Copies of this chain bind each other. A is one copy, B any other.
Amino acid sequence: MSYVTHLECSKCNKQYNSEEVHQLCECGAPLIVKYDLARIKENFRKEDLKDREPSLWRYWELLPLKDKKNLVSLGEGMTPIIKMEVAGPEIGLNNLYLKDEGIIPSGTFKSRGATVGVSRAKELGIKTLAMPTNGNAGASWSTYGARAGIKSVIVMPQDAPEITRNECAITGADLYLVDGLISDAGKIVARAVQKYGWFDVSTLKEPYRIEGKKTMGLEIAEQFNWEVPDVILYPTGGGVGIIGIYKALRELQTIGWIGEKMPRLVAVQAEGCAPIVKAWEEKKTESEFWNNASTCAFGITVPKALGDFLVLDAIYKTNGCAVAIADNDLLEAQAVLAAKEGTFVCPEGASLYSAARKLREQGWIKENEKVVLLNTGTGLKYPETVNVKVPLLQPNDNIPEA
């Protein structure tokens, strides 16, 4: 049993039957999952969570799966929130937290979208899925696809993190590299999907990935004991996480689990690919394609996101903002977080620390506000971002004093 009532277009509000397989609305915009929140409010209690496993599926009533037999899970979610006791005060923030999405199967937040998306795909009888990816989404969907017995066809830029190739390969996906960006991979997938009738799981082209990402917002609310923080910073490529977190918090308000206060949502991008930041600075509601996109924070190299208008809406509605960070700044932040806090975050996640510093300097964040950096993945998947110079000893050599 699920509480889903229907799918609804995020632009034109046209409704679709959630028991059928749908991709985009006929107007070209993403479809959103709608629930009977009034009935959830009646039947679902915070206390129910006490007896549930520490996975994102603890929020079953707010998720779209009907039958537990279709659940495709690897124990994902309830990732830790860690206080930055040293790195926080160093940039003038006394209540800085990092939610660490590195502690999840496949090492990135992409697995949230994958567990829900693949479970629902299985429930709807999908046999083959296809997607363009900057690496991590492809790795996660291949992984959950393998567990579900669904075939995955993955196309990624040749510059995507190499380890994500290994994950796709070992889980048995059909993997292709492209001499180009994710937008090029997207066009190749679109042609193939058209030709072979595969299910297109490109960002926001199916409605269930958002529901998985949404659980980051649910967890933040629960982990802060239903008193939401003041600011959440999020590294923004396709932007599904920020869209999902906003949706989660709105749903929690509707069922009465949190009050009227909303965290200010901050989209962080790299200076080498900052279409959302540009749009926000120009007070626009949609972004423009970013030419010659390039950054070492590869996961957020998305020149034009299909859901850009939803990301911008979430920022405007929560009085948030958008910030662009230079590659050298975010790499420095990565080293600071590792050395001061023991958190080895991905470059995308590291950009948030630079952004928090910038916003604190500008006075946009106050020193005692509760601030959450949503680190989207583990640094383990990006070994090339670390400089290692290490002496080689022979067995009889001695080491100098530390």
Contact = CB atoms under 8 A, between A and B. Distances in A.
Contacts of A196: 401-402
Given A386-B170, A399-B188, A391 B177 contact: yes
B379 A381 contact: no
Interface in A98-142: 100, 102-107, 128
Interface in A34-89: 50-51, 54-55, 72-76, 78-82, 86
A291 interface: no
Nearest to A107: B380
A142 to B, nearest CB: 8
Contacts of A362: none
A395 B184 contact: yes
Given A386-B170, A401-B196, A146 B338 contact: yes
Nearest to A152: B402
Given A151-B402, A178-B394, A395-B180, A143 B342 contact: yes
Contact of A79 (B75, B167, B184): B75
Contacts of A202: none
Contact of A155 (B144, B165, B187, B393): B393
Contacts of A21: none
A269 interface: no
18 contacts: A50-B50, A74-B82, A76-B80, A103-B104, A103-B105, A105-B342, A106-B380, A107-B107, A128-B402, A146-B340, A146-B342, A147-B343, A175-B390, A177-B393, A178-B393, A178-B394, A179-B395, A188-B397
